C-alpha cells in the first residue's frame, strides 16, 4: 500500500510590500494597547492615547511601532508627542477619527486621514508624517489638515489598489449618498476623488466603514439618534475606485444606536455588524452570509452570534485572523475565534482578552484592510517518488491563463494539474498567470521535495512452537522486510491492525506477547525524512502447543504427510543425508519443502535418512526420518 499526499500551503505573499507586521501594535481606548508580535495578543499599558472612539496605529513590517494617533495628536514610537503633532482635525467622539496610509515608494512618508464629528469644522482631511524628521522619530510636515471633503461622515477605510502598489482611501459624504475614493500614489494624495453616488443617503455621520481584506466589498453602518439606522453592503472596484451594487440591511434596533461596528471575515464571505443599542438592551453581534446572491437571502442569513447588556462598539480583524470587539468601559476585549465559520461555530468569546490596567471604550485602531488579506497561495505538498502531486493556486484574481513549470522539464497549462516526478530531489515549481484585471501577468514560485518511497518485501507466515502468551522478538523480521544497510533512514514498525499501520499509531513493542492464535501482524516501512512515504505488508503468526519433528513421510500426493514439515521450528538451514553419509538435500530458511527428493528434483528411494537442522538460535537438531515411497 503506497500513499499519499499531505497537503500544506506554500505561500507567495503577493502583498509583501505591506504585510501583517504593520498591524501588530494597537493603541486605543483609555491607554489600552495590544502587542501581537508573539503571535498572541499581549496587553500594553505604555500608551498615551485616551479617546472614546476612533484612532490609528502603524508599525513597520517587523511589527515595531512607528507612531499612533487619535486623529488630533500624533505620538511617536517613544510615546512622545511629535513637535508639530497636535491640532489635527479628528475628534475623540468621531467613529473612525483617523487612518494611516504609507506613501508608495517612500518608506518614510505616511499620511494620516482624519474625520471630524458632525458639527465640527474638520470634515475629511489629511496630514503628512515624515519619519526622517525629529531625529528619526518623525514629525508632521507642512502638509497638514489638507481639506478633502466637507461635510463628511465619521467613516473612513483603506485598501490596496489592484496594482498592489497604490492605495484607495474611501469615505462617505454627509447628507448625500456619495462614496469618495481617494487614490494614494508615489505622487501623494490625489485630492480629486472617484465619486460614486450609490446607496442610501447618510443624514447622520455615525458608524463605521470597512473594506473586505481582498478589497472587493465594502460595508457601511449608519448609527442613528433619530430612528433610521441601517447598514449597506456594496461592491468596490480596486482598479477604478468605483462603488456599486448596494444591498440594504435593515435588521437593527433603531431607537438610538443600531448598526455601528463593521468587519469582514478573513475570507471575505461573512459580514459582522455590532448593534449598539445605546438606550435599550441587549447589544448584539450580527453575522451575514454575503456569498448569497440576493438581498433577501443575505438578510435571512442573519445570525445573532452574541448578545449582552453592555454596549458593544467597533469590530477589528487582527493579525491572527480573529475579530476583536470593543466593549464600552471594559478591561477586556471580546473575541470571535473562528470568523470564517457560519453561525455559532464562529465561537464568540466574551471578555477574552485582558487589557491589564487599561480600559477600552467604543473604538479600536483603524488599519488598511489589505493588511489582513490572505495572500495568493500555491497549494501543493512534498511528495513521494512515483506519486501524483497536485498543484493549484488559491487566488481571488480573475485569472485567464496558467502556465506551470514543474522544475524537471515538464510543464502544464491546466488550472489544477497533477504531475509525477521520476526522481527524488528538490524542485522549484513556477507558475505564470495572466488575469483580466490590472494585475496582468504574475509569477509565483515555490520549492517542493520529492522523497524516496520505500518498497517493503513480502513476509512469509510464521509458525512457532509453545509461544502463546510468551514473547516474540519482532525485530528479527526487519532484515526480511527491507535492506537495512541500503536504506538506513527507513524505519519499520509493527502493528495489530491495518488502520494502525496506515496511520502509524499504536506500534507494538519489539518484544511482543502474542494475544491470539493465529495473529496477523501488520508491518509499516516508512522514510524517516517524510513519513507520508511508506509501504506496508502483513504476515500471520501461528503457534503450536505440541511441536515435533516428523519421524517419517509418505510422499504419495494425497496431501497427508507428504512433506517433512518443521514450519514451527523456523529453521535457517537443513541438510539431509542417505544412510551412506552422502548429502542428498540442502536448503536455507527451510519450512516444509522436502518430500523425499534431491536438490535436482530426483525422487529418492524408500529408506531412512539423516537430518541436521539449525534453528535461528544456532541450535542443532539431528535424527532419522523414514521415507515410505509407494510402489
Span 137-150, pLDDT tens digits: 999 999 999 999 99
Query: Quick one: pLDDT band at residue 460, thresholds 50, 70, 90?
Result: confident
Do residues 326 and 230 share a domain? yes
Residue 323 domain-assigned (yes or no): yes
Burial state string for 40-57 with b = 16 or more CB within 10 A and e = fewer than 16 = ebebbeebebbbbbbbbb
Q: Which three cell numbers stand for residue 556?
A: 504419495
Residue 516 domain-assigned (yes or no): yes
Respond yes or no on whether the N-terminal peptide bond of residue 4 is cis (omega within 30° of 0): yes
| pLDDT (average), residues 172-181 | 98
- pLDDT score recorded for residue 333: 98
- pLDDT score recorded for residue 3: 30
Q: 3-state DSSP: the chain helix, strand, coil percent, rounded to 5?
A: 5, 45, 50
Do residues 353 and 385 share a domain? no
Separation of alpha carbons 69 and 73, rounded Å:
6
Query: Quick one: pLDDT band at residue 466, thresholds 50, 70, 90?
Result: low
Query: Quick one: pLDDT band at residue 255, thresholds 50, 70, 90?
Result: low
Do residues 244 and 133 share a domain? yes
Do residues 426 and 479 share a domain? no
Residue 52 domain-assigned (yes or no): yes
Question: Count of CB atoms within 10 A of residue 121's CB?
Answer: 10
Range of the domain at 598: 552-627
- pLDDT score recorded for residue 518: 87
Do residues 192 and 228 share a domain? yes
Give the contacts of 34 (CB within 8 A, at least 6 positions apart): 25, 26, 41, 42, 43, 44, 324, 333, 353, 355
Cα torsion 553, 555, 559, 565: sign:
positive
| pLDDT (average), residues 468-481 | 83
- pLDDT score recorded for residue 470: 67
CA of residue 251 relative to chain centroid, distance: 34
Which tens digits make up the pLDDT trace of 305-328? Answer: 999 998 999 999 999 999 999 999
Separation of alpha carbons 448 and 573, rounded Å:
48
Do residues 340 and 412 share a domain? no
Task: Please state, rounded to an integer, the average pLDDT across all residues of the chain.
Answer: 92
The total number of residues shown for the chain amounts to 631
> Domain boundary residue among 420, 451, 482?
451
Residue 509 domain-assigned (yes or no): yes
Separation of alpha carbons 578 and 561, rounded Å:
20
pLDDT above 90 covers a percentage of the chain that reads 78
Greatest mean pLDDT among 108-112, 258-262, 509-513 lies in 108-112
For residue 519, what is the domain's CATH number? Answer: 2.60.40
Do residues 469 and 432 share a domain? no
Over 70: is that where the pLDDT of 19 sits? no
Separation of alpha carbons 110 and 29, rounded Å:
23
Do residues 124 and 168 share a domain? yes
| pLDDT (average), residues 534-561 | 88
Over 60: is that where the pLDDT of 10 sits? no
Q: Which three cell numbers stand for residue 261?
A: 461596528
Beta partners for residue 155, in sequence order: none
Separation of alpha carbons 513 and 519, rounded Å:
11
Over 50: is that where the pLDDT of 5 sits? no
For residue 308, what is the domain's CATH number? Answer: 2.130.10.10
Contact 71, 156 (CB under 8 A): no
Which tens digits make up the pLDDT trace of 432-452? Answer: 998 776 767 888 999 999 999
For residue 381, what is the domain's CATH number? Answer: 2.60.40.10
Residue 293 domain-assigned (yes or no): yes
Q: How far apart are the first and last CA of the chain?
A: 49
Residue bearing cell 522523497: 451
| pLDDT (average), residues 333-354 | 98
Q: Return the H-helix or E-strand segment holding 450.
A: strand 441-451
- pLDDT score recorded for residue 615: 84
Residue 8 domain-assigned (yes or no): no
Do residues 470 and 504 share a domain? yes
Who has greater pLDDT, 87 or 462? Answer: 87
> Domain boundary residue among 451, 478, 503?
451
Do residues 315 and 417 share a domain? no
Residue 2 domain-assigned (yes or no): no
Who has greater pLDDT, 463 or 571? Answer: 571
| pLDDT (average), residues 345-354 | 97
Over 80: is that where the pLDDT of 490 sits? yes
Do residues 382 and 312 share a domain? no
- pLDDT score recorded for residue 11: 36
Residue 229 domain-assigned (yes or no): yes
> Domain boundary residue among 488, 509, 544?
544
| pLDDT (average), residues 207-228 | 92
Total-model pTM:
0.74
Do residues 380 and 307 share a domain? no
Per the structure, how many domains does the chain have?
4
Amino acid at each position: 500500500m503506497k500513499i499519499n499526499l499531505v497537503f500544506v500551503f506554500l505561500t507567495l505573499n503577493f502583498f509583501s510590500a505591506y504585510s501583517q507586521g504593520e498591524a501588530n501594535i494597537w493603541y486605543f481606548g483609555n491607554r489600552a494597547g495590544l502587542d501581537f508580535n508573539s503571535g498572541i495578543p499581549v496587553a500594553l499599558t505604555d500608551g498615551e492615547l485616551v479617546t472614546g472612539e476612533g484612532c490609528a496605529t502603524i508599525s513597520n513590517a517587523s511589527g515595531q511601532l512607528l507612531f499612533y494617533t487619535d486623529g488630533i495628536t500624533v505620538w511617536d514610537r517613544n510615546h512622545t508627542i511629535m513637535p508639530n503633532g497636535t491640532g489635527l482635525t479628528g475628534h475623540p467622539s468621531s467613529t473612525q477619527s483617523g487612518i494611516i496610509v504609507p506613501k508608495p515608494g517612500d518608506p518614510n512618508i505616511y499620511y494620516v486621514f482624519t474625520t471630524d464629528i458632525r458639527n465640527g469644522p474638520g470634515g475629511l482631511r489629511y496630514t503628512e508624517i515624515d519619519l526622517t524628521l525629529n531625529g528619526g522619530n518623525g514629525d508632521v510636515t507642512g502638509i497638514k489638515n489638507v481639506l478633502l471633503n466637507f461635510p463628511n461622515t465619521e467613516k473612513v477605510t483603506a485598501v490596496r489598489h489592484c496594482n498592489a502598489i497604490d492605495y484607495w482611501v474611501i469615505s462617505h459624504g454627509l447628507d448625500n449618498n456619495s462614496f469618495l475614493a481617494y487614490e494614494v500614489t508615489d505622487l501623494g494624495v490625489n485630492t480629486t476623488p472617484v465619486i460614486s453616488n450609490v446607496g442610501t443617503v447618510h443624514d447622520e455621520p455615525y458608524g463605521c466603514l470597512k473594506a473586505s481584506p481582498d478589497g472587493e466589498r465594502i460595508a457601511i453602518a449608519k448609527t442613528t439618534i433619530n430612528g433610521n439606522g441601517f447598514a449597506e453592503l456594496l461592491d468596490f472596484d480596486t482598479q477604478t475606485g468605483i462603488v456599486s451594487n448596494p444591498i440594504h440591511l435593515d435588521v437593527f434596533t433603531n431607537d438610538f444606536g443600531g448598526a455601528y461596528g463593521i468587519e469582514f471575515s478573513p475570507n471575505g464571505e461573512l459580514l459582522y455588524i455590532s448593534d449598539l443599542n445605546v438606550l435599550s438592551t441587549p447589544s448584539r453581534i450580527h453575522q451575514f452570509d454575503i456569498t448569497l446572491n440576493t438581498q433577501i437571502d443575505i438578510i435571512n442569513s442573519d445570525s445573532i452570534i452574541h448578545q449582552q447588556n453592555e454596549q458593544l462598539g467597533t469590530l477589528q480583524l487582527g493579525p491572527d485572523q480573529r475579530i476583536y470587539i470593543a466593549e464600552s468601559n471594559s478591561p477586556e476585549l471580546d473575541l470571535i475565534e473562528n470568523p470564517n465559520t457560519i453561525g455559532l461555530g464562529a465561537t464568540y468569546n466574551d471578555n477574552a482578552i485582558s487589557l491589564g490596567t487599561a480600559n477600552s471604550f467604543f473604538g479600536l485602531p483603524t488599519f488598511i484592510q489589505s493588511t489582513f488579506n490572505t495572500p495568493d497561495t500555491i497549494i501543493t505538498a512534498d511528495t513521494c517518488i512515483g506519486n501524483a502531486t497536485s498543484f493549484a493556486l488559491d487566488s481571488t484574481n480573475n485569472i485567464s491563463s496558467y502556465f506551470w513549470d514543474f522544475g524537471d522539464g515538464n510543464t502544464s497549462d491546466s488550472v489544477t494539474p497533477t504531475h509525477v516526478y521520476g526522481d527524488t530531489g528538490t524542485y522549484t515549481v513556477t507558475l505564470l498567470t495572466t488575469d483580466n484585471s490590472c494585475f496582468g501577468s504574475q509569477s509565483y514560485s515555490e520549492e517542493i521535495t520529492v522523497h524516496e518511497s520505500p518498497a517493503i518485501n513480502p513476509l512469509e507466515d510464521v509458525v512457532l512452537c509453545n509461544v502463546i502468551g510468551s514473547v516474540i522478538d519482532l525485530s528479527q523480521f526487519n532484515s526480511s522486510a527491507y535492506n537495512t544497510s541500503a536504506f538506513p533512514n527507513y524505519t519499520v514498525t509493527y502493528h495489530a491492525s491495518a488502520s494502525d499501520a496506515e496511520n502509524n499509531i499504536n506500534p507494538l513493542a519489539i518484544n511482543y506477547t502474542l494475544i491470539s492464535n493465529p495473529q496477523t501482524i501488520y508491518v509499516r516501512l516508512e522514510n524517516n525524512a517524510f513519513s507520508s512515504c511508506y509501504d506496508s505488508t502483513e504476515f500471520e503468526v501461528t503457534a503450536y502447543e505440541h511441536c515435533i519433528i516428523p519421524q517419517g513421510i509418505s510422499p504419495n500426493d494425497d496431501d497427508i504427510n507428504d512433506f517433512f514439515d518443521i514450519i514451527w521450528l523456523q529453521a535457517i538451514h537443513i541438510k539431509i543425508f542417505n544412510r551412506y553419509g552422502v548429502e542428498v538435500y540442502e536448503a536455507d530458511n527451510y519450512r516444509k519443502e522436502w518430500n523425499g527428493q534431491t536438490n535436482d528434483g530426483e525422487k529418492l528411494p524408500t529408506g531412512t535418512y539423516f537430518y541436521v537442522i539449525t534453528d535461528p538460535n544456532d541450535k542443532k537438531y539431528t535424527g532419522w526420518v523414514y521415507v515410505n515411497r509407494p510402489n
